[in-house]
Amino acid sequence: MKNIEAAYKKLLDPSEDLIADISKLDGDILILGAGGKMGPALAKLARQAIVKAGISKKIIAISRFSEPVLEEELNREGIETICVDLLGDRQLQALPDVKNVLYLAGTKFGTAGNESFTWAMNTYLPGRVAEKYKKSNIVVFSSGNTYHLTPVTLGGATEERMPQPVGEYAQSCLGRERIFQYFSLKYNTPILIYRLNYANDVSYGVLLEIARSVKESKPVDLSMGHVNVIWQGDANEVALRSLLHCSVPSKILNVTGPETLSVRWLAEEFGKMFGETPQFVNEEKATALLSNAAESFRLFGYPKVPLKQIMELLMEWINQGGRTISKLTHFQERQGQF
């Protein structure tokens, strides 16, 4: 397990491009919602880039930190932490004023039956944060779910495509974007809206779900027959470097990998790796939730970790019993019910 963990950690090292960009960034960095799937790795990546750049800059991670172990882990890395319920307005207003903000707070899973909380987190809270940090640069994490399904042959929705969110989760994500856009214009706040799908790590993601289904002889659902994916480390690099590209009016940026991937092909490739024959249910459709990230590649270049390398790492991680997170992506969902 040590060898595969070392290979994994190597893929999380900051690139020279990130080190150069973080050196250009004026001020400290605040991460709101740092306790989720991407937040801890994002905070660690920022800290590593700062150390390698030889500069002085604080990384402040904000979360409820329901797992105290995570807060202690970040502290050991040299990251400041503040335990806060962001929906508590007094707690929000007491946070330090910081020049650069990454907004990761939000909810997706459990939307059905808990719609009011979803809207509070995804649409009400952004207004309070935009007021609080009106003098900051803000990168706002959003979702490719704001787009409607597009024909597979078109290569994904570009940023120019009008949103057509399906379901309350996607609608609330568009609400988050619109609220930040409003306050960007009202206060002249530089903002970048970061539409992501789908980040993958060894512990979670579309690729892990497909690989485990194949390994465990469970059927792979082809309802959403094509997907985009990106290595979490690459997605986090883009998020940090995007702090230099915030603008008024706010800029929208799709963030994902370059391939339009067949779910069937992915399952068959994992089948070869594991020596298993994939099982399938349902059939591919002519449309899928896909994003075109050409603008991101223009700004930041192509992701540094290629697809096959991620797949091979996942195979070894699964075979050696590496730790995984139980939260599924529900990438197969076509009706927006999360």
Chain segment 144-169, per-residue pLDDT in tens? 999 999 999 999 999 999 999 999 99
- Grade residue 328 by pLDDT with cuts at 50, 70 and 90: confident
**pLDDT, position 111:** 61
What value does the mean pLDDT take over residues 92-101?
98
- Grade residue 3 by pLDDT with cuts at 50, 70 and 90: confident
**pLDDT, position 146:** 97
**pLDDT, position 110:** 59
* Res. 79: pLDDT tops 90: yes
* pLDDT tens track for 203-213: 999 999 999 99
d(CA 73, CA 51): 17
- Grade residue 336 by pLDDT with cuts at 50, 70 and 90: confident
Where are the alpha helices (H) located in 188-245, listed in sequence order? 206-215, 232-241
Beta-carbon count within 10 A of 65 CB: 18
The mean of the pLDDT values for the chain is 95
d(CA 177, CA 107): 14
Lowest mean pLDDT among 56-60, 123-127, 321-325: 321-325
* Res. 109: pLDDT tops 70: no
- Grade residue 4 by pLDDT with cuts at 50, 70 and 90: confident
Tell me how far CA of residue 13 lies from CA of 9, 16, 35, 305, in angstroms. 7, 10, 20, 11
- Grade residue 327 by pLDDT with cuts at 50, 70 and 90: confident
**pLDDT, position 337:** 79
- Grade residue 173 by pLDDT with cuts at 50, 70 and 90: very high
Task: Classify domain 2-199+229-257 by CATH architecture.
Answer: 3-Layer(aba) Sandwich (3.40)
As beta bridge partners, residue 63 has 83
The 3-state DSSP class for residue 82 equals strand
Residue with the two structure tokens 């990168």 = 139
**pLDDT, position 91:** 97
What value does the mean pLDDT take over residues 97-118?
87
The 3-state DSSP class for residue 318 equals helix
Q: Which structure tokens are listed for 309?
A: 């390398």
* pLDDT tens track for 230-251: 999 999 999 999 999 999 999 9
**pLDDT, position 212:** 97
**pLDDT, position 335:** 86
d(CA 128, CA 123): 9
What value does the mean pLDDT take over residues 280-286?
97
**pLDDT, position 112:** 67
Instruction: Let me know: does 280 contact 222? Beta carbons within 8 Å.
Output: yes
Domain chopping of the chain, boundaries: 2-199+229-257
Letter string b/e over residues 165-183, b meaning 16 or more CB atoms within 10 A of that residue's CB: bbbbbbbbbbbbbebbbeb
Instruction: Let me know: does 241 contact 21? Beta carbons within 8 Å.
Output: yes
User: Where does residue 192 rank: exposed (0-12), middle (13-18), buried (19+ CB within 10 A)?
Assistant: buried
**pLDDT, position 66:** 86
Where are the alpha helices (H) located in 54-155, listed in sequence order? 68-76, 89-93, 115-119, 125-132
* pLDDT tens track for 52-77: 999 999 999 999 998 889 999 999 99
d(CA 28, CA 57): 5
